[in-house]
Amino acid sequence: MTTEYGDADQDGLYEKLYTYGARSFSIWDQNGLLVFDSGDQVDRITACKAFNNDEDANEGDTRSDAKGAEPEALAIGKIGEQSYAFLGLERMGGVMVFNITNPYNVEFVDYFINRGVEEGAEISGDLAPEGMSFISSENSPTGKPLLVIGNEISGSVSVWQIAEHQTN
């Protein structure tokens, strides 16, 4: 928690609590102005899998008092005419995909995760994406875009082939 914010009337009692940590991602323009912030979108989307699991536990909601899903790894890639942000969630695990072609109108595309997330389940799969690289279809050995992920806790490297997102 920080004491820099939250005491709106300066009476020494905090009406709101603010904490540092990663629960969202933001896009800034070349002038340093905020054009997009995902707000609570990461929490809302991961809640459908197993809300705020830690990278080495499936106990449910072990991260709310810390840094949430902790979006940490980032890769940017272009598929066709569209630009995407791939956001690795270090603690919760998995990767969120956002279409950032128009940074003023960012769209959530997908969330994929390769670990057991059911509460009480044994920990398995790729744990704690720490670093990622996007490989364009032009540079890919498969001719399809790839996302290479280094996972800190499991010590694994995963390679995901990315399909082009179809829009209506």
Position 20 scores a pLDDT of 59
Mean pLDDT of 41-65: 63
- Is-contact 129 62, C-beta < 8 A? no
Q: What pLDDT digit, counting tens, does each position of 33-48 carry?
A: 999 988 878 877 777 6
Give dist(CA 70, CA 98) in Å, integer: 16
pTM over 0.75: no
DSSP 11: S
pLDDT at 52 over 70: no
The ranges assigned to domains in the chain are: 26-161
Token output for 5 = 């914010």
For the chain, percent of residues with pLDDT exceeding 90 = 29
Burial string for 24-37 (b: 16+ CB within 10 Å, else e) reads bbeeeeeeeeeebe
pLDDT at 73 over 70: yes
Position 168 scores a pLDDT of 45
Kindly give, in sequence order, each residue whose CB lies less than 8 Å from that of residue 11, ignoring residues fewer than 6 positions away: none
Q: What pLDDT digit, counting tens, does each position of 75-120 carry?
A: 999 999 999 999 888 767 778 899 999 999 999 998 877 665 555 5
Give dist(CA 124, CA 114) in Å, integer: 8
Token output for 144 = 């399809």
**Helix, strand, coil % (nearest 5) of the chain?**
10, 35, 60
